[in-house]
Amino acid sequence: MRVGEENTAPGPRGHELSATGVTVAYERVDVVHNASLTLRPGEVTVLVGPNGSGKSTLLRTLARLQRPRSADIVIDSATDGLALTPRQFSRHVALLTQGRPTPGGLTVRDVVEFGRYPYRSRWGTSDPGGRAAVDRALAVTGVAELAHRGAEHLSGGQLQRVWLACCLAQETGVVLLDEPTTYLDLRYQVELLDLVRDLADVHGIAVGAVLHDLDQAAAVADRIVLLHEGRVVADGLPGEVLTARRLTGAYGIRIEVDTDPLTGRLRTRAIGRHHSRTERLSTTP
């Protein structure tokens, strides 16, 4: 059974999250300039761009962890996201940040239960739907069998799934992921990206993610947003955004784009000074 097909009892419905006119400054210097994007239920939107292009800053602003100089953030075309209290907003949007620590002295289930904080009473005692939500999050992310294991004994890939389960336990319709595959080996990168697709395809969640790997972005995304120097320079289908001209301009290095003959997916290749040597070696008998 595919991860994401287990325990598919009704969870949260997906929300649309729209942001327009987002400008963010650090020490009075704008690092995101008048950016706009929309995350839709059942779709994966991936933000790409070189280091310093504003990807993570824009994502953190959508999650209200970064205060914008100006922005309109709207949920389902009706709710002003900036007017909600933090607890109210956390029932709509969850964020998996980079570099979450390894919790010591806690079981996997304890960690996932942290995601229920928006629903608990002031003293953390009343949460009628909490157990079912945690069980569902454990099952969807494929870590239910680890529920009673100490979190400090997990591999990096397992722990990343646990932190994602914590986000899902919030029962939000929008999930934001900031470089979720960083530090994971190849197997766990592939499994996590499969899970990201399941969140959209099986559970109808609106997913927004920052990824560095352009091939991974092409494989998992319904839409891609390309940023350069804090500005959105392209927003559309992968084939519309991931072109050699656009990527070469944004990254400042020659990038070729073609189609993998086996998978039919877009494939990118950055061309460095030693590219010709690499080609000679690959064709040596």
Task: State the Cα–Cα distance between residues 90 and 46, nearest whole angstrom.
Answer: 21
Domain ranges of the chain: 17-253
Q: Tell me, what DSSP letter sits at residue 107?
A: B
Name the pLDDT band for 120 (thresholds 50, 70, 90): confident
Strand order in the sheet with 29-39: 29-39, 17-26, 70-75, 79-80
pLDDT digits (tens, 9 = 90+) for 33-89: 999 999 999 999 999 999 999 999 999 999 999 999 999 999 999 999 999 999 999
Name the pLDDT band for 6 (thresholds 50, 70, 90): very low
Does 260 have pLDDT greater than 60? Answer: yes
**Which residue, 151, 175, 161, is CA-closest to 12?**
175
Tell me what the pLDDT averaged over the chain comes to.
Answer: 90
Q: Which fold has domain 17-253?
A: Rossmann fold (3.40.50)
* Residue 266 DSSP SS3: strand
Does 7 have pLDDT greater than 50? Answer: no
Which pLDDT does position 104 carry in this prediction?
Answer: 87
The pairing of strands 79-80 and 17-26 is unpaired
pLDDT digits (tens, 9 = 90+) for 265-279: 899 999 988 776 555
**Which residue, 197, 85, 184, 96, is CA-closest to 140?**
197
Q: What pTM does this model have?
A: 0.90
